[in-house]
Structure 1
């Protein structure tokens, strides 16, 4: 189940995959997929099942099938590190994905932009669209509402006694919305909710406003 939010008279849909759909622009925003991280773990002996290599691509396909966007915009850290076996899987995925794809480069995006451009993917430092600013790192810039990633936001819910639950989330402030990490095996960072914040947690394939 998704959740809806309106920002500056524009409509956005929050998907349990961690993707954010901008309705008026038919654009799917996705952050911190970290492709290649599974192969990186396996290379150094981590007991990660091989089938996990395909999980991120399955999630991408699910979100794309749900929204059928005209544009896919990755808000940084699309690939975790250097080229490895998952780049070939990524090439195959791009071949069967007909939408325009843009990458807003993040700190982990160290693969040459030419490799992406050969696949028809444009690599940029940021995107300004009207009064919206799309970046990898969260940024406050006068006159703009910022969409970003990088932080891998999560919220901690506390129950009776010492019970607690940690959930990935969309974290919204007055001028900013931070997307959760889309990729598997990425980890997350707990943010503290305070006055003026809106938190949309992801649990059991559902986005829930906290």
Structure 2
């Protein structure tokens, strides 16, 4: 098991939630990555907003570390691989191409998300198979948008879920995984993507990703009449 990972069983399959905000399916040697948003910083700079450089390199280094730690043979991106058309900037494409050359043995699949539809598919040289949601693998369905589906349990991204931990004196928002009765959400993997607070409903399980481990949040007791 990867350091700090936490195991969960979904639809009869053993999955590992990783503190690096990704999901690993050992039986398939597959990493599932949601909302990496390559080129987001470049898109902001193109719009005249000064934001830090280096986020593409940071994301690629994080991918490298995960692939090596898990010995993954394939990566499934759950939408929003590219942030916008400005993500096709020469520097971003060059960095992605160099990474792909180093990782030529990986099988890569992208389930299109809403940003992908605006940005366009990744360059063909990256050799990424692009599919529409939901993408079925065994008993699991992979999508960008959270949804229920009659054909299986859905794992999705899009929301960038974070969970608020609070004491009387302080509060902290952490990226989280959330699993409900029919579907689950992965946190955003990208280093420049923000987060949306979520409130678990009945039957939902929440797990926060800290810097070095994934921690289960105790379920709130049901209200008694």
Q: Shorter-chain-normalised TM-score: which range?
A: over 0.9
5+ residue gaps, structure 2: 218-225
Taking the aligned partners of 2:28 and 2:6, their CA distance within structure 1 comes to 18
Partner of 1:95: helix, strand, or coil?
helix
Give the drift of 1:53.
Answer: 3.7
Contact 2:83 2:119 in 1 (8 A): no
Match of 1:40 among 27, 38, 43: 43
Give the drift of 1:176.
Answer: 1.1
Tell me what 2:57 maps to.
54
Partner of 2:44: helix, strand, or coil?
helix
Tell me what 1:154 maps to.
162
Question: What is the TM-score with the length of structure 1 in the denominator?
Answer: 0.93
Tell me what 1:90 maps to.
96
Tell me what 1:7 maps to.
10
Match of 1:178 among 175, 185, 189: 185
Give the drift of 1:45.
Answer: 4.1
Match of 1:135 among 139, 143, 149: 143
Question: What is the TM-score with the length of structure 2 in the denominator?
Answer: 0.87
Q: Residues 50-129 of structure 1: matches in 2 within 5 Å?
A: 50-82=53-85, 83-84=88-89, 85-97=91-103, 98-109=105-116, 110-113=118-121, 115-126=122-133, 127-129=135-137
Q: Residues 22-33 of structure 1: matches in 2 within 5 Å?
A: 22-33=25-36
Partner of 2:28: helix, strand, or coil?
coil
99-108 or 84-93, which moves further after superposition?
84-93
Contact 2:39 2:83 in 1 (8 A): yes
5+ residue gaps, structure 1: none
Partner of 1:59: helix, strand, or coil?
helix
- What is the count of residue pairs matched by the alignment? 208
Taking the aligned partners of 1:106 and 1:143, their CA distance within structure 2 comes to 20
What is the CA deviation profile of residues 3-55 of structure 1, one whole-angstrom value per residue up to 9, with x for unaligned ones?
Answer: 11111221111111111001111111001000001222233344433333411
Contact 1:30 1:182 in 2 (8 A): yes
